[in-house]
Structures are given as C-alpha cells and as structure tokens.
Structure 1
Amino acid sequence: MKANCWMGRNSVEIREVPDPRILNDRDAIVKVTSTSICGSDLHLYNGYVPTMRRGDVLGHEFMGEVVEVGPAVDNLRAGDRVVVPFPIACGNCSACAHGMYSVCENSNPNALIAEKIMGHSPAGIYGYSHMLGGYAGGQAQYVRVPFADVGPLKVDDDLPDEKLLFLSDILPTGFMGAELCEIRPGDVIAVWGAGPVGQFAIASAYLLGAERVIAIDRYPYRLRMARDKAGAEILNYEQTDVLDALRELTAGRGPDACIDAVGSEAHHSVGPLNAYDRVKQATRLETDRPHALREAILACRSGGIVSVIGAYLGFIDKFPMGTVMNRSLTIRSGQCHVQRYLRPLYERIRKGDIDPSFVVTHRMSLDEAPRGFELHKHKREELTKVVLRP
C-alpha cells in the first residue's frame, strides 16, 4: 500500500509499505477514506521530536471503513464507517477508567523511552515517534487500529468526511482547551494561535458560554477566519503590543482564562527574545520555544486559568513561575482525551451546533502529501487545514 513516510528532517515521501495485518485479538484494520496533516506533524517534519526513524508512516488524524476485526472486537464489523481518535487507549487501566485516555498506562510498548524524558509515559499515538509507541500512522491507505473495541467511533453515512474527520483530534482538542478554562457566563477568553486547534478553541469557548473571545496570531488569513467564521475579536501581535491591548480590552483586568494553542514552535515579533529561543532550540539547549505560553501567563487576570493545549515536547527556558505563584494562576493542560469527547461532539455536529469543515482550505490526494507539508510549514497559499484522500 501507499503511505506518507518520514525520511529525515524536512523530508517526507510517498512509499510502498507492507499492508497492515491483525496482530492482536482487539485489533481492527481500517481503510482510510480521509486523513490530514496536523500542525503537530510539523514538529516531526522539522526534526524536533526524537526517536523518529527513516520510513516511519506519519499521521494521527484519520477516518475510514473497517475491513477486518480481531476476534475480541464485538462492537465493530467490516463495512462500518469510523473515526479513530489519535491517542491509543486500552480502556482497562486506571487512567482510562478516569477518562484520561491520552495517558493510558498500557498502550505504549516503548514506555521506558518516554519515562526517561517525561518521568512517566503517556499513551501511544499513531505516527508520532517510537517514544510514543512506534505505531504506523494514518497518512496511508490502511491502518492497524489497536484496542479497536475502545477507540473508534462508529458514525452514520449521511455526513461527509470533512464534517467528521476532525473528531479524531483537533476538534476535541480545541473543545478540551476551552473546557479546562471552567468558563462562566460573561467570561473573556484569549486564545493564542489561530490555526485549526485555535479556531476550534474559539468556537468551543462560545459554545461553553464565553461572552467574548480574543484571538492572537500574525497571519491575516487566519485572523480573518477567526473573526468571520469563529466570531472572535482579533489581535495581530506584529502590529500591537498584546499585553497592552488585552489590558485595554478587559478594563485592565486581563482575560479570565488564556488558551495556548501554539505549542513548541512559537514565534515572537520582538527580535532578541525570538532569536534567543531559536538559538536555544537549534542547539538543543531547550526543546521548545514557549513565547506564547509566557505571554498567556503574563496576560491572564490574577486568579485565572491558563489552558495549554499546544503540543510541547520537553523543556523550556525563562518560565515565569513567579507570576504563576504570586498571582494565584492555575495551569491546566494535556494531550486531549479524545475518546471522552467523541460521542458528545458528534451529537453537536449532528445538531448543527458546529460544522468543523470551516477550517478546510485545501484538498489533496495522498500523493500530494509532501507538497502539503511544505505549504503547511511555510504558510503558503493561505493553507489552514488540508484534507488528504488516499
């Protein structure tokens, strides 16, 4: 079968790889009908995630049709249409019992590698390094889905893939980012990053009762989408001082909660600090450029919540812990526990509360994935989200 494979820093190729097969009784094989390139895939592409190997199949956002199931899978059968969540979860461990599927204790066969970096291991993730399981990803024609009796959501045939595909990751991630803010009526929420996750965090904040949402980014086309499609007020951080602007927009208090939807490769318009983070990251003296997180912490009102859903990889520098402690801030974060949100968000899509397809700007064949990565990396052709069709 064809698959999009990581071949080294800034290099992916469409290659012929072996078809997946059932390895365990709880496996399923899914024929992929739609997949996509996630912003966090760029961390792999840019060479910042360790334990990648040449030829690894990428992709953790996908959906498709079940073609085969293992003997222990009794909730799915061949022909079912499913959306597959990106964290792989067993459904039986203590973490899964508490709905914390992205930190499943049993799904990462390479847990010892992750423990050396993170202290404890999170769940396995499709197409996201051997540190997180070494699982083949979904930018392919077929995928092996472990624990298929727990993960995939069976969906009806009357909605197109583009309305459902993002249940696999970015819609639940944006929703969880807003949910972590404990939004109350009248709250003002600020969102750093107007990429797809940020767009869904904005929309979700309104669904959960926010009165105002302010989006911070530097790309005019993403800010237009945040304003016109998601309903946010917008700030271009290359044209204004964000901290001053947020104080002015909130009568001096700051936002009630701040969402970091940027993560490890944040950009800063101020030359010295941006250069500092880039040099530290390039020389591996820090793994992440945390400017958006620093700014969100400084901007948040005293006693507020900083929700971190942008993907971070390891270690950061110049973290304003004094601000967190002295101003009674709460930091809440996590890879999304997607399985927890699949059914409720699916029902919201069916009811018309949200149509996630508004973020799709490009549609390509799987063969065009290398071009999609280049467009995504360099923000060309106003690409916000690309859907790939194997």
Structure 2
Amino acid sequence: MKALVIESFQEKPSIQTVPDPTPPDHGVVIEVKATGICRSDWHGWMGHDSDIRLPHVPGHEFAGVIQEVGKGVKNWKAGDRVTLPFVCACGICPTCQSGNQQICDDQFQPGFTHWGSFAEYVAVYRADTNLVRLPDSVSFETAASLGCRFATFFRAVVAQGKISGGQWVAVHGCGGGYCGNFRRRCAYLD
C-alpha cells in the first residue's frame, strides 16, 4: 500500500510503498476512505509524543470500510462502514469497566502508538470495543472531519452517559486544544 511515512521528526515525510497491514486477532483492517488532519498530527511529527517510533505513519481521524476481520471479532464484518475515537480502549480493565475508556491504561491510538490513517489501509485493534458504525447517511469525509470531536463525544453521551431520545445534555467548557500527551490521563474537565 501507499502511505505517508515520517522517518525523522521535523523532516519532510515521503509517500512510500509499505506492506499492507494484517488484522490482529481481535481487530480489523480498514480501507481508509477519508482522513482528517489534526493539530495532534503536527505534534506527533514534531516529536512531542513519546509513543511514536520511527519510521511512522500518522493519522488518527478517519473513516472507511472494513476489509478484513480478525478471528476474535464478533460484531463486525467486511464491508461495514466505520470510524473510531482517538483513544481506543482495551475494554476490560477497571478503568474501562467504569466507563472511562478515554483514560484506559492499555489504550492504543492509530497515528501515535500504531501506524495511522495517512495510508490506504490501517489495522485497528479491539474492534468490538472501539469501532463506531457509520450510517449510510454520513459521508466518509464528514466522519473524518469530525474525528476526535464526534467519536469521543458519541462515546461519552451514548456509552458513558446512556443518553436516549428526549433527554437533554448540557456541555460546559467545550473547545479545542492540545494538552500535551493524551496518554498521560489528560482530560478536559470543567
């Protein structure tokens, strides 16, 4: 596959042909249909994130179609349209079980801890825990442009808050920003 590869921090990346990913046992391979560019990608390219190992493929805001499914995946199949949150959780640790997947100690992040979506395909771990089904009415470009904002909010409202139709939600202190290394339990709380 073709991918944008960073070989040195703060140096010009290049488009290269690299091996196609294979699905992890509990993961999938997604054909990237659209990917966003986030300020976090710049921080990664600068070398501000200690989880990045070179050479590296950035990109974490994306949407696509599942191409291959690992043998341990139960809820997904090839052809499903999906996106995912920035922080992908293990789903089994005490932190995840309390509904706080965004600060999972065993999290992974495409584009940071693993190769990301500035490529034709990306491998995603723990598919049953992390993937978000993309309705046909939402374009790949729209889903990728929402990236961190939508998937994180969706998980908070639907999975953590268990909000349903007819209920109201108030959001306080919303806004963009980068708070250093997300793996260091950074949370936007106001």
Please confirm whether the aligned pair reaches a TM-score higher than 0.5, indicating the same fold.
yes
CA distance in 1, matches of 2:53, 2:94: 31
CA distance in 2, matches of 1:175, 1:85: 9
Greater radius of gyration (CA): 1
Counterparts in 2 of 1:64 and 1:94: CA distance versus 1, 3 Å: same
Q: Please give the residue correspondences for 1:71-82 in structure 2 after superposition, counting only pairs within 5 Å.
A: 71-82=71-82
CA distance in 2, matches of 1:84, 1:27: 12
Question: Offset of 1:40 from its aligned partner?
Answer: 1.0
1:156 corresponds in structure 2 to 135
User: For 2:118, which of 139, 153, 157 is the aligned residue?
Assistant: 139
- Contact 1:7 1:53 (C-alpha < 8 Å) held by counterparts: no
CA distance in 1, matches of 2:152, 2:64: 20
1:96 corresponds in structure 2 to 96
Question: Offset of 1:45 from its aligned partner?
Answer: 2.0
Task: Provide the aligned length of Structure 1 versus Structure 2.
Answer: 175
- Contact 1:22 1:29 (C-alpha < 8 Å) held by counterparts: yes
2:165 corresponds in structure 1 to none
CA distance in 1, matches of 2:155, 2:79: 31
Q: Deviations over 1:334-387 (max 9, x none)?
A: 179xxxxxxxxxxxxxxxxxxxxxxxxxxxxxxxxxxxxxxxxxxxxxxxxxxx
Q: Does 1:261 align with 2:176?
A: yes
Counterparts in 2 of 1:10 and 1:77: CA distance versus 1, 3 Å: same
Q: Deviations over 1:268-327 (max 9, x none)?
A: xxxxxxxxxxxxxxxxxxxxxxxxxxxxxxxxxxxxxxxxxx33139xxxxxxxxxxxxx
Q: Does 1:48 align with 2:48?
A: yes
Question: Offset of 1:41 from its aligned partner?
Answer: 1.0
**Match for 2:136: what amino acid?**
D
Q: Deviations over 1:239-292 (max 9, x none)?
A: xxxxxxxxxxxxxxxxxx755633xxxxxxxxxxxxxxxxxxxxxxxxxxxxxx
Q: Which has the higher contact order (CA 8 A, sep 6+)?
A: 2
Structure 1 spans left out of the alignment, 5+ residues: 107-122, 129-133, 178-206, 211-256, 263-309, 315-332, 337-390
Structure 1 length-normalised TM:
0.40
CA distance in 1, matches of 2:115, 2:22: 12
Give the ranges of 4+ consecutive aligned residues of structure 1 lying more than 6 Å apart after TM superposition: 174-177
Structure (1/2) with the larger helix percentage = 1
Percent sequence identity over matched residues?
Answer: 32
Q: Please give the residue correspondences for 1:1-390 in structure 2 after superposition, counting only pairs within 5 Å.
A: 1-8=1-8, 9-24=10-25, 26-50=26-50, 52-106=52-106, 123-128=107-112, 134-172=113-151, 208=169, 261-262=176-177, 310-313=178-181, 334=187
Paired residue secondary structure (1:163): helix
